[in-house]
Structure 1
C-alpha cells in the first residue's frame, strides 16, 4: 500500500472535514500543507490537525510541495482557476467540493482538461457513506424491494446546494445507470443571486437507461421528511433531503436527517426503520479511504469519481435547459450551450413574489 501526499486549500468548516478525513487515514495520506487567504483560519486548522506548513497562495503551495493530491473546499465560483493550478503542477488527483461548477461550460472544461491531463477527479458526494445510506443500499442490492421501478429524490435546499448530491445518490442506488432524458420545470428568482445560484424550486422527471423512472425536487416546495419547523439555515433544513426507492416488492427511504425506513419482501408488511443523521466526521474518512484504494488499484472506480460526478451535474443542469426551452432534453448533451443558464433563468422566470403562496 502506498502513502500519498496531500495539500488542502480552503480552511473553513468543509475544509476541516476534508482535513479530518485525510488525517483519519494517516497510514495512507500525509497532509503536508494547508492554504487560506485568512491566516487565522489557516493557523487554526493547521494546529488542530498538526500540519506543519501554511500558505496564503495556492500556486506557491503546489510548486513547493509537489503533492500527489490537491484538495480544495471553496465556494463554487472558484473552481476552474484552482483546477488549472492542479493541472499546471501535475498532481495525480484533484478532490473538491460539490457542485462541480455553477455553469455547464465551466464544468465541461474542468472534466475535459483533467481527462486530457490524465488527472483523476473525485467530488465530495460523501453522504452515501453514512450508515443509514449503506443500510438502504444493502437492502436494495439484496433484492429486498424487488426490481427498482422509480426513485424520488427531494431536498428542501435549492438545486445548486443539494441537487448534485441527491442526483448522485439516485445514480448510486441505480448502480450507475445513466440518465437518458429529463423534463424539468423551475420557478422563482430569489436564489439566483446566492453563492450557489439556483431557481427557488425545481422539479424534474427523468428516465434512466435501464428503464427506471426518476423524480427530483429541490427548493421551496419540496416535501418535508424531517419533522418540525425547519427554517432556512437551521441544521434540520439542510438535512431535510431524502431518497425513496420504489421496487416491485416494496420500498426503501433514507433521509439525511431522519434515518431510514423500508417495507421489504422479508418484513411481511411491517415498516422497518433505523437511525441515521448527517455526520461528516464519519462519512468523510470513508470517502477518503476509498481514494487510496482507487489509487492503489484495489477498487476499480471511486464511488464519487469524476465521470459519474460530471454526468450527475449535466443531468441537473439539463433540468434548466428543459425549463427554459419547454422541451425534453436528452443526455449526454451533444453540445454545451454558450453563456449562462443562470442569467437565462433570470430573464425567463417571473419573480419570486409572483408565485409565493400560490
Structure 2
C-alpha cells in the first residue's frame, strides 16, 4: 500500500548537525521519518540539533520530485522552527494523508499515554505485564500516592505521585502466571525491586499507573493498571463473609481490600430515615476483610456499609453507601441488608425441619427454582387477598 511503501524524509538546514554530508539533503537517512505502526503518521526525533533558528520540509522517496512545506502544500514554503538550547528534544511528525509536517520543540509531540485507561495488568505482588514494545534503553516506573491523593499526566509525564522503579524481566511471565493469564504471555514483564514491595498494599488503596521513558528521559507511554491479579495474589480468603453467629452475637464481615475506610450504619427497621448507630469496622491487612462484632439486640435490624474507596472511572476517592454483597436477607427493592440467622426457627417455614432432601445421583440432576414473591402468591386464593403478591 502507499503508506507502507513511502520513504519520507525531513531535509533542512540542520542536517549537517545530525550527521548528513550537508544541509537540504532529501536522500540523507539521518533524518528519516518512520511509521512503525503503519498509521500514516511518520516521526523523527533528535536532540542533536544545536540551539538556533532553522527551517525544514518533507521530501518523499529521497528526492525533491515530491515535497511538502507550509500548510501541507506541495512545493510549499519551508517550515521554520527554533531550538532554545543544546540537547533539546525536537520531534518531527508528518501526516501522510494531510501532508502536514508539525515540529514540536521540547516535548515529544504532547502527552504520551493515558492513565485513565488500564492497559497494563498487575498480575502478582511483584509483577506487572504490559503489552508495550520494549526498546533497549527505555526505563519504567510504578506510580502511586501514599496519602491517597490523585495524580495527573502531562507532557512531561506524571506529576503529583510517589514512584518506584521497575525492571524488565527478559524471562517473561512465570509458567504459573502464563497459565493463569495466557493472553499476556507475550507482554513486557516488569518487576518490583524486593525493597519496594512494602508499598504494594498501600498503593492498592489509591490510584496506580506505570510509565515508560526513553534513554533521554522523555515520556514514551503511560497507563493505569488492572488489579484483579494482584488482589488474588495478596488477599486470598476462604473464610466466612456476611453475617455469622456465635451464640446470640452476630459478626459482620466484608471483603474490601482496596477500601480506605468501612463503617457499618445500623437501622432499627427497613424504612428508618437515620441510622441508630454507626460502627467502625477494622481490617485484617492480610486478608482485606473488614469486621465488626455486634450485640444480641442487632438481630433483625437493617444495615448499610459506608465505603471510602478510589474509583478509577471517576479518578477520585468516593464514599458510597452500599448493601452487603454477602447479604442473607434484604429489604424491599434491596435497599438495605438485614441481620438474620438462617438457622433461626422463627424464619423457617412450617415443617421445614422435618423435610428430607432427596438424594441426588449426580450434580446435573439438581433442579434450581427461581422464586418471585409476587408471582408466587398473587393468584393463590389460600393467601388473604390483601397479602397476595406481597412479602406478608
Pick 1 or 2: higher relative contact order, CA cutoff 8 A, min separation 6.
1
- Structure whose CA Rg is larger: 2
TM-score band w.r.t. shorter chain: under 0.3
Relative to its length, the structure with more strand (as a share) is: 2
TM-score by length of 2: 0.19
**TM (normalized to structure 1)?**
0.21
- Larger proportion of helix: 1
